[in-house]
Amino acid sequence: MTSSADDLTHGDMIFLRGLEIECLIGFIEWERRIRQKVVIDFELPVDCARAAATDEVDATLDYKRVAKRMIEFVGASEFKLVETLAHRVAMLVLEEFGIAWIRLSVNKPGAIRGSRDVGVQILRTQADLEAARRAHA
């Protein structure tokens, strides 16, 4: 299901908050030996009016499928930086689900002593996916 880039500021979206996944993440040697929890939040464009008119999951974006794919990908990943993890997850979702954009945050609870969490928030669009494809062609 696609939406226009204008939906970044207008329109409907699906969101998911607090998706906890364990993975190998970090650049310090000890971090490369243990699985750590990351917490993902995301927003995706969707036409809620279309979905409401039919009351069928086929008329919307199945957020359960998106979350399961994220769990699978992140759980198998081994990145040094949360920036890399966030970017790769965003590109994967854009490509596999054909959406116009994704706003995604990845935080790493406990990464900084005295803080609740630290992480990144990114916004990626189909234009970013196309640019990445051209760069790797």
Q: List pLDDT tens digits, range 53-68.
A: 999 999 999 999 999 9
Render 45-100 in DSSP notation, one character per residue: E--HHHHHHHT-GGGS--HHHHHHHHHHHHHH-EES-HHHHHHHHHHHHHHHH--S
0.75 exceeded by pTM: yes
Percent of the chain with pLDDT over 70: 93
> In this structure, is the dihedral angle defined by the CA atoms of residues 57, 44, 76 and 95, taken in order, positive or negative?
positive
Q: Which domain holds residue 91?
A: 5-135
Q: State the total domains in the chain.
A: 1
> The domain spanning residue 101 has which CATH number?
3.30.1130.10
Q: List pLDDT tens digits, range 80-90.
A: 999 999 999 99
Give the model's confidence band at 19: pLDDT under 50 very low, under 70 low, under 90 confident, else very high.
very high
CB contact at 8 A, 80 and 28: no
- DSSP reduced 3-state for 130: helix
Residue 10 has pLDDT above 80, yes or no: no
